Amino acid sequence: MKINAKLRKTLNTLSRIIIVAMACWFIYRQVFASGDYALFKQQFGDNLRSTDFLLLLGIAFLLMPLNWVIEAAKWKMLISYIEYVSLSDALKSVFTGITFSLFTPNRIGDFLGRIFTLKRANRVKSSLLTIAGSISQLLVTLVAGLIALLFFLPKYTELSETWLIYLYLGLIIISLFLGTLMIMMFLRAPIITRKLYKMVKPKWRRINLYIIVIERIRRRTLINVLLMSMLRYLIFSGQFYLLLRAFGLHIPYFQALILISMTYFVMAAIPTIALADLGIRGSVSIYFIGLFFGGSIVSSTEILSASTLIWTINLAIPALLGIFFIHRLSFIKKTEPNDL
Q: How far is Cα 39 from Cα 18, in angstroms, rounded to an integer? A: 30
Mean pLDDT score, 99-111: 74
CA distances to 111, 277, 281, 314 from 271, in Å: 16, 9, 12, 19
Q: What is the pLDDT of residues 34-57, one digit of tens each?
A: 556 667 677 777 787 788 999 999
Whole-model pTM? 0.83
**Residue 339: its pLDDT value, please?**
45
Q: Distance between CA atoms of 76 and 91, rounded to whole angstroms?
A: 9
pLDDT at 203 over 60: no
- Answer whether residue 331 shows pLDDT above 60: no
To 10 degrees, the CA torsion angle through 312, 37, 240, 136? -50
pLDDT of residue 311: 86
For range 317-326, the mean pLDDT: 84
Percent over 70 (pLDDT), the chain: 71
pLDDT attached to residue 169:
83
Amino acid letter for position 53: F
| Mean predicted lDDT score pLDDT of the chain | 79
Note whether 86 and 94 are within 8 A (CB). no
- Per-residue pLDDT at 193: 60
Q: What percentage of the chain has pLDDT greater than the value 90?
A: 22
Q: Which residue has the higher pLDDT, 2 or 261?
A: 261
The answer to whether the Cα torsion of 226, 286, 279, 35 is positive or negative is: negative
CA pair distance 216, 214, nearest whole angstrom: 5
Q: Is the pLDDT higher at 164 or at 263?
A: 263
Q: Write out pLDDT tens, residues 169-189.
A: 888 888 888 888 888 877 876
The residue ranking higher by pLDDT, 325 or 262, is 262
Is the confidence at residue 14, as pLDDT, over 80? Answer: no
Taking a C-beta distance cutoff of 8 angstroms, is the pair 309, 39 a contact?
Answer: no
pLDDT of residue 275: 47
Q: What's the rounded mean pLDDT across residues 252-262?
A: 93
